[in-house]
Amino acid sequence: MTTYAEGDAFPDFEMETPDGGTITKSGLAGRKAVIFFYPKDNTPGCTTEAKDFSELKPEFEKAGAVLLGVSKDSAKKHRNFIAKHDLTVDLATDAEVDGLSDRLGVWGEKKNYGRTYMGMIRSTYLLDEQGKILRIWPKVRVKGHAEEVLEAVRTV
């Protein structure tokens, strides 16, 4: 795993979308991009985060940014998640071994109630139009996060 920092080029990727297509880093070029990593579809914090980003999607678009939510969930689970909560934010599946979340270090060891396991560490990356990392939010707390990211998009 390489450590990525603000100012670095975001790694190339190709991930499956819920409609069976793919999304790539080069497909985001020319626009700012907000890529948020979340643990699991249909869990309370992840649902809140996806709904918050969906609600603010028009504001992100006005500011010239696209949104992409990423988890290890399957495309089918993403389709169900989108339908159940009327989400408008784009989602992608990073299920491959040594995928994007592994390379970024956001798939890692977590602890909860004394139990240790591997999971997605909620994190967000803001990229510029050329795919360079402008800002990183590690270990995100959901409440107010989408608004904070929107403000950063507007000011960079």
Q: What is the dihedral of CA 36, 56, 7, 94, to 10 degrees?
A: 20
Q: Which listed residue (15, 33, 35, 46) is catalytic? A: 46
For 79, phi and psi rounded to 5 degrees? -60, -45
Paired sense of beta strands 22-24 and 115-120, if any: unpaired
What letter would DSSP give residue 10?
P
Residues 6+ apart with CB under 8 A from 143: 48
Element (H, E) at 116: strand 115-120
| Catalytic residue status for 46 | yes
Q: How far apart are CA 90 and CA 128, in angstroms?
A: 18
Q: How far apart are CA 156 and CA 93, in angstroms?
A: 28
Two tokens, residue 44: 């309370």
Tell me which residues are annotated as active site.
Answer: 46
